[in-house]
Amino acid sequence: MMSQLTPTGRTQVKRLPNRASYDSETIYHILDEAFVCHIGFVVEGQPFVIPTGYGRLGDTVYVHGSAASRMLRTLSEGVQVCVTVTLLDGLVLARAVFHHSMNYRSVVILGRARLVEDPEEKMRALEAITNHIVHARWKDARLPTDTELKATSVLALAISEASAKIRTGPPKDDEEDYTLPIWAGVVPLRLVADAPVPDPRLVRGLAPPAYAQKYSR
């Protein structure tokens, strides 16, 4: 069942609002397809934007890293945070330079992150982050030791104040330019996986699992 997030003064899309979506399922689908999020925050007046991996469970995004990480330590204190992801779907080549664009799907999430302290939630979050990169990898890999868990911090951010913005379709030229003898259209882009490359120290005789041989998003 689709549900709508209520736009706030911070998430209401003002530039080209017809491209906005506040539907939670649309937001989830974009988050689930992307690999990397960018986390923006301010420390003593200095803005930082850090790229990192993530995972989603329901209406929560999880990120993880070293317990010594400045970003994670800062975010765990409850500062305001902005998380963004972007999927690039195509290059839009118009007749006029002014109207060149890109087809894309993006999400912006605002809020305050919380430190995950419950051991069971922490393990579920790490599983989600691992499987977000490669589905079903968690069950094949060695699980974290107690020492590794202590060295790792996990933060959770609720997807409650968020919006998506999407552009699709051909160029939008000025009406008088449509008769110009200039090629216009879209160059579609997509992520394609090559054949897996084995670790030089791999135990002999091990074949790549199916999810590595036929990887797709």
Identify the pLDDT of residue 216.
87
- Give dist(CA 102, CA 89) in Å, integer: 7
- Give dist(CA 144, CA 9) in Å, integer: 41
Q: Which of 121, 152, 155, 157 is nearest to 27 (CA)?
A: 157
Whether 2 has a pLDDT exceeding 80, the answer reads: no
Tokens 């899309």 -> residue = 13
Segment 49-71 shows an average pLDDT of 95
For 19, the token pair is 């491209």
Measure CA of the first residue to CA of the last residue in the chain; give whole Å. 23
- Per residue in 148-206, pLDDT (tens digit) is 999 999 999 999 999 999 999 999 999 999 999 999 999 999 999 999 999 999 999 99
Q: Which of 27, 23, 9 is nearest to 107 (CA)?
A: 27
- Per residue in 19-52, pLDDT (tens digit) is 999 999 999 999 999 999 999 999 999 999 999 9
- Per residue in 169-183, pLDDT (tens digit) is 999 999 999 999 999
Helix, strand and coil percent figures for the chain, each rounded to 5: 25, 35, 40
Domains of the chain: which residue ranges?
17-191
Query: For the chain, what is the mean pLDDT?
Result: 96
Segment 135-143 shows an average pLDDT of 96
* Superfamily of domain 17-191 in the CATH hierarchy: Electron Transport, Fmn-binding Protein; Chain A (2.30.110.10)
- Per residue in 76-120, pLDDT (tens digit) is 999 999 999 999 999 999 999 999 999 999 999 999 999 999 999
Task: Grade residue 217 by pLDDT with cuts at 50, 70 and 90.
Answer: confident
Can you say whether the dihedral through the CA atoms of 22, 23, 27, 28 is positive or negative? positive
